[in-house]
Amino acid sequence: MTNDARLVAIHRNPAPKEVPMPDPTYDTDFYAWTQGQAAALRAKDLTALDLEHLAEEIDSLGNEQRHAVRSHLRVLLWHLLKWAYQPTHRTTSWRTSIRNARAEITDRLDDYPSLRPHVPALLTAAYRQARGLAADETDLPLATFPEACPWPLADVLTEDWLPPEA
């Protein structure tokens, strides 16, 4: 195709005009929305703030931290149960998981000390889940494991504490 032919083709079929994208909303482009909201906060542009969704997201961030503590407690208790009820199957992997879960919990509680009062309730919820996981993994009957956590919270969170054989 010659240069003249290309020019004629371009003239007949111009490139489509870019249609400006509407301002992103919480529902259409979450990432762009977060960036716009951060910019509006920094600029103190209160009229540009989506206060309802901002409050929801801030709430969600706090809930994520609480969920993370519960999740690490579940893993910790799961491995402590296996440690106590299957002493002949103990592995360094279990010990490593126990150590890692405690470190994660400690880090979260150090970073977010207001979560500390919630830990007893989180432990209760996490233990119920860990009990089921331990039963599934060990093939021991669920009734083998106590219905409530058999160890004090202080022991569960103590760095080198391991439960005795059950």
First-residue to last-residue Cα distance in the chain: 84
Contact predicate 162/87, CB 8 Å: no
Confidence category of residue 164, pLDDT binned at 50, 70, 90: very high
The pLDDT, as a whole number, for residue 24 is 79
Q: Is the pLDDT of residue 74 over 80?
A: yes
Q: Which phi-psi region, left, alpha or beta, contains residue 31 (left: φ > 0; alpha: ψ -120 to 50)?
A: alpha
Chain position carrying tokens 């089921």: 132
Confidence category of residue 18, pLDDT binned at 50, 70, 90: low
What is the distance between the alpha carbons of residues 43 and 89, in angstroms, rounded to a whole number?
59
Model pTM above 0.85:
no
Q: Is the pLDDT of residue 22 over 70?
A: no
Mapped onto helix, strand or coil, the DSSP state of residue 49 is coil
